[in-house]
Amino acid sequence: MTQQIRGQLEALAELMAQEDAIRLQKEALKATVLTDEIRQQLADIDLEFASQEEAVSELIATTRTEVMAAVLTHGASVKAERMQAVWSKPRTKWDTPGLLGFAQAHPEVATFMSVGKASVSLRKL
């Protein structure tokens, strides 16, 4: 079973590499049709909008921080026309190894324990 999954992972990695190669080939081909004049015009446009983009990005970061702080203080989600700030209650964490040890000495506690489903995440190496 492990070998089969390894084979599937390698096949997936190969497909993802092919996807990257296609994207790079497409970008390289696009670059060949751009003249030096067009490249300069695009650079000029980028430069023209750079200060505006930076100013708006800073305002977004500041406003995001202010909104999050206000919602935390408010203690409830707030929905506007185009955005929503979702407040989540604090999560409770337990000392699992300590409680498992306690459950060995007090088996009745184990009735309050549930084990969730396993999950899988894929990561590029």
Taking only the tens place, the pLDDT of each residue in 106-121 is 999 989 999 899 988 8
Query: Which of 65, 64, 70 is CA-nearest to residue 83?
Result: 64
Residue with token string 């079973």: 1
The strand pairing partners of 122, in sequence order, are none
* H-only helix segments in the chain: 2-33, 36-74, 96-105
Prediction pTM value: 0.61
The strand pairing partners of 85, in sequence order, are 78
Q: How far apart are CA 94 and CA 89, in angstroms?
A: 16
pLDDT of 125 reads: 76
Q: How far apart are CA 102 and CA 96, in angstroms?
A: 10
Would you list the domain boundaries of the chain?
1-33, 35-87
Render pLDDT for 30-74 as a digit per residue (tens, 0 to 9). Answer: 999 999 999 999 999 999 999 999 999 999 999 999 999 999 999
Render pLDDT for 2-41 as a digit per residue (tens, 0 to 9). Answer: 899 999 999 999 999 999 999 999 999 999 999 999 999 9
Distance of CA 1 to the CA centre of its chain: 30
